[in-house]
Amino acid sequence: MPSLGQVSDYDIRLIRIFQTVVECGGFTAAETTLGISRSAISQYMKDLEERLGFSLCQRGRGGFSLTEEGKEIYQAGLTLLTALETFKSDVNALHHTIKGELNIGITDNLVSLPAMHVTDALAELTAPHHEVIVNIHMEPSDAVIRGVMDGHLHVGVVPSVNLPTSLATRLLYDEPSYLYCAAGHPLFPISDERLTASEIASYPAIKPRYPLPNNVREVYADLNLRASASDREGIAFLILTGRFIGFLPEHVAAQWVAAGKMRALHVNNYHYRIPFMLITRHDRRPNRVVDAFLHFIAATA
């Protein structure tokens, strides 16, 4: 039975490729991310399996799945790559120029926020005199939280909902949301003065399937929830059919409001705000890139 001796640069490259394949869910999906062909990925995986001495995954008509050894190697690989990043960070701390990687997870539809704290901080971090590679992962909030907790992500931007106590949090901004309908909906031409709560409640509304704070969930209690969506883009799709009303963040709806395709209903009565937080691990090791990013966030906010 072969055993692993010295870990070479090629071994680390194979582990990075394997990690990407796992996170993409298969060889085909990983082609674009890695920028290499499926046949090349297959050969790299074969090399890694021969190097380690056991099969890492099943691939074929039944789809892509990890073996038990593959699951263990994936977790061990995460530990190894995180350790390598920590080593690079420690070395970088000796130099004036900020060098390294920032892995940041962000929930969907935040780029249009007027308060561009994350964008401004990234601009500072990637100034020409620094050598920072930024990897942005656009994922649901629960995936961002998991990524920060297991060390796969350095920082995350998520709504302040069900955050574990093991995370350090920093308020970025409050996101206001209002109840919208689209042009063509029966409520669109009716002024707020003529609209009643019972009339609004009589029309089909959209329920979000993503986590919301308790006080926000109460806002939906009196609505006629007849559809659901997994994210804000899905809610926008349904509102634009002209068949449903639903809550959207003001900055997300702004483009359709400006085009006359949406309007908010009773903004004084139907609204809520959700705080968005920057999250890191409480017990994270010092990392010059992350520390600089947090400094720039504080300065821009």
Q: What is the C-alpha separation between 43 and 24, in angstroms, rounded?
A: 17
For residues 226 and 260, membership in a common domain is answered with yes
- Asked if residue 54 lies in contact with residue 67, where contact means CB atoms within 8 angstroms, the answer is yes
pLDDT at 192 over 90: yes
pLDDT tens string 283-295: 998 899 999 999 9
Q: What is the pLDDT of residues 49-66, one digit of tens each?
A: 888 888 888 877 767 888
> What integer is the mean pLDDT of 13-26?
90
By C-alpha distance, which of 299, 250, 242 is closest to 270? 250
37 and 123 part of one domain: no
The percentage of residues in the chain with a pLDDT greater than 70, rounded to a whole number, is 97
240's enclosing H/E stretch is none
Using the Cα atoms of residue 110, residue 113, residue 118 and residue 123 in order, give the sign of their dihedral: positive
174 and 279 co-located in one domain: yes
Position 96 pLDDT exceeds 80: no
Beta carbons of 252 and 175 less than 8 angstroms apart: no
> Helices 9-24 & 27-34, crossing angle to 10 degrees?
120
Asked whether the whole model's pTM tops 0.75, one would answer: no
Tokens of 128: 């020409």
Q: Is the pLDDT of residue 93 over 80?
A: no
**What is the average per-residue pLDDT within 54-79?**
86
In the chain, which ranges are continuous DSSP H helix? Answer: 9-24, 27-34, 38-52, 68-92, 117-125, 141-149, 197-201, 214-217, 232-239, 250-258, 288-300
User: What range defines the domain where residue 154 resides?
Assistant: 100-301
Which of 17, 50, 83 is the last residue in one of the domains?
83
Both 121 and 172 in one domain: the answer is: yes
- The model's pLDDT over 107-116, given as tens digits with 9 standing for 90+, comes to 877 877 777 8
